[in-house]
Structure 1
Amino acid sequence: MHNDLQVTGAGEKRDSNRLQTGAVVIIAFAVVLFLLVQARFMLITLATAIILFSLTSDVITFIARQRIGPFRIPNALASLVAMVLIATALLMLASILLAQVNTVLVTTLSYTERAPSAIASLFAWMGDDSELAVLNALRSIDVQSYARTAASQASGIMQATVLVILFVGFLFAERIWFQTKLNNFVGNEAQAVRIGKIIQSIIHRVNYYLLVKTLISAITGGMVFLLAKAFGLELASSIGIITFVLNFIPNIGSIIATFLIALITHVQIGDSAVTLAIFSISAVIQFVNGSIIDPMLMGRALRLSSFGIILSLAFWGAVWGVPGMFLSVPIMVMMLVVCSYVPGLRPLAILLSREGLAETEQMLDQPLDHDLFGHERRR
């Protein structure tokens, strides 16, 4: 009887500990989620700065390897050149985006009168009542209010750009001390080397993903621009740039871009046959570039579960909005690599990976091929 009571008491204690642990995990998740939402602007700019810094680490190494006669370019000069290039590229990109947003908003306001009728005509096959219902619903939308909101949000692009440049600059200033800080923080040289390899694996994967995605998005945007130009669309340049940007959003970005060009075509031209032709050609461009060429170039650099990408997209989109959608894949790549090398989190890495295979310790020391800068890249 006494032994039975002891066993029962031990079981109740374990259940109580599990309940407490579960409650602590739920509370911690709620607190982290609250902080992610409340500090979204700062965290988004910081995450963007870290990604840009990791990307330019390979650029700095590439520049530092170059020689001018018998002299090698100093690392400090390479860092300065990379920083200037980043700042210039970001400011130019922000200026282009602001100009295109302004163009789109002005054109949208000019189409306010005829857009509802043109869009409602797409539902004519459902009957006059359905077409009239859609027309009334569209006319009730205050387009000018949405345009003002979009303009006010777009004005924050330049502020975010300046903040990202500052963050990247300070990361460059601390770059030479990272390894020393890591060694002192861990207190174990072998463990510090292992963590350093994990960080490099994350950097190489994210860099390769961004470079390939930029290349594919630029090709897709250019082809869509030529398509819009061929059909005489007024917003051809804006459509090409928007397509380029939207293709960084996994899965749904290309779908939105395809429907967007079809909608603009129908509002401007009003011919269903032309709209269908542009929609079909744009869909083929997106499919070939996104579903055939993109996976071929990515290879094993992006071994993420498609369902996991959708979940990551939905979660970070809900937490950080549109910027969260752009950052969802790099964040997921980081989670996959980190979880692979933490024993307690390996089951999560298996769920996040495409084939159900987590990273192994041997992969940290197994160079396979080279990235776009000629550096060895790991699986």
Structure 2
Amino acid sequence: MLHDPPTTSAPEKRSDAARLQTGALVIIAFAVVLFLLVQARFVLISLATAIILFSLTSDVINFIARRRIGPFHVPNRLASIAALLLIALALITLTSILLAQVNTVLVTTLSYTERAPSAVASLFSWLGSDSQMAILNALQSIDVSSYVRTAASQATNITQGTVLVILFVGFLFAERIWFQTKLKNFVADDVQAERVGKIIQSIIHRVNYYLLVKTVISAITGAMVYVLARSFGLELATAIGIITFVLNFIPNIGSIVATGLIALVAHVQIGDATITLFIFVVAGIIQFINGSVIDPMLMGRALRLSSFGIILSLAFWGAVWGIPGMFLSVPIMVMLLVVCSHVPQLRPFAILLSREGLPESEKMLEQPIDRDLFGNEGR
């Protein structure tokens, strides 16, 4: 028996068309945003770095402004100027150190060009002589000098980025005193403006805590790796320590790359597989204890980020902004987690981004933060 197909009413057709149109607009908007992120990557990376430095320094400014010398206290403007000068000095110093170490690594790399392929190929001797010879030929075909020249030319972007970051931070400090007024006028609701302000403070506090803990752990790890490299007389001990410190800000992947790097340098310079294996194991133990035991213990529940979400964020921002995007992936993810937690329509994304599926609740936002980064009471 034949049945007539169900008919679709006009309202249902309009609803389906509206959903289809909304989906198409979302895809187009995402494509446009992605295009802008890639095309303006240099400016956006500098701006994101400046915002993070500004938020980190805001706690320092508040700490300085709360200090009293008898009946006097440090004016907010003076604290802002002092913080800006310290940031500029620190960035210029770090840039100089980084460029000096990059230059050392590039010069040493050129000196290792001839013996490095045979040393690396010897690591695969257990595969047989044919495989070892094939790997050796493949390594010798790589034009290392061209890569070195490219890396040297790209290093100049660091200086330009440093200057741009300092300018951005300066303008942010200049606008700092008017931020609350602008927020109230923008939202046009005092209650909602206060809520948005609390969300921003929650983002700042969590990002700052993450950066503080990560800096301490990375510095300890870099120092231990430097001592390890120096004890075996590696020429690039200082550079390896600094690179280890920097790479540890890249979640998961950075520690693996840093461990492989010191093992590679040791094998190229020393040429002893046993010593190389020992250095690799010791460096791996250092990274494991600091990164997988001490780091999570200090972080506690401050971030509550999903490990899978961190990998996705790392892959996405690495593809969009390259290596700088990898460094910024976790702070950006923290920001997204907090924002999505307090927007009802986006809360499902916060559940996916959080580690236990328990993102920050509205009650947690109303609770005061017992201590700031310097141990002082306050929100």
Q: Name 2:79's counterpart in structure 1.
A: 78
Q: Name 1:21's counterpart in structure 2.
A: 22
Is residue 239–residue 261 contact of structure 1 (8 Å, CA) maintained in 2? yes
Residue 190 of structure 2 is aligned to residue 182 of structure 1: no
Q: Name 1:348's counterpart in structure 2.
A: 349
Q: Name 2:316's counterpart in structure 1.
A: 315
Report how far residue 200 of structure 1 moved: 0.2
Is residue 350–residue 359 contact of structure 2 (8 Å, CA) maintained in 1? yes
Output the amino acid matched with 2:337: L
1:142-221 to structure 2, matched below 5 A, reads 142-221=143-222
Is residue 304–residue 354 contact of structure 1 (8 Å, CA) maintained in 2? yes
Report how far residue 365 of structure 1 moved: 1.9
1:237-262 per-position Cα deviation (integer Å, ceiling 9, x unaligned): 00000000000000000000000000
Residue 363 of structure 2 is aligned to residue 365 of structure 1: no
1:1-379 to structure 2, matched below 5 A, reads 8-376=9-377
Is residue 220–residue 285 contact of structure 1 (8 Å, CA) maintained in 2? yes
Output the amino acid matched with 1:77: L
Report how far residue 10 of structure 1 moved: 2.0
* Cα distance in structure 2, aligned partners of 1:108 and 1:369: 50
Q: Aligned residues, how many? A: 375
Is residue 59–residue 373 contact of structure 2 (8 Å, CA) maintained in 1? no
Q: TM-score, normalised by structure 1?
A: 0.97
* Cα distance in structure 2, aligned partners of 1:339 and 1:376: 27
Report how far residue 226 of structure 1 moved: 0.3
Output the amino acid matched with 2:359: A
1:64-107 per-position Cα deviation (integer Å, ceiling 9, x unaligned): 11122331111111111111110000000000000000000000
Matched residue of 2:177: which SS? helix
* Cα distance in structure 2, aligned partners of 1:370 and 1:259: 39
Query: Percent identity among equivalent residues?
Result: 77
* Structure 2: stretches of 5+ with no match in the other structure: none
* Cα distance in structure 1, aligned partners of 2:371 and 2:217: 19
Is residue 367–residue 376 contact of structure 1 (8 Å, CA) maintained in 2? no
1:258-293 per-position Cα deviation (integer Å, ceiling 9, x unaligned): 000000000000000000000000000000000000
Is residue 314–residue 326 contact of structure 2 (8 Å, CA) maintained in 1? yes
* Cα distance in structure 1, aligned partners of 2:74 and 2:328: 33
Matched residue of 2:358: which SS? coil
Larger displacement relative to structure 2 (239-248 or 76-85) = 76-85
* Structure 1: stretches of 5+ with no match in the other structure: none
Matched residue of 1:302: which SS? coil
Matched residue of 2:178: which SS? helix
Output the amino acid matched with 1:323: P
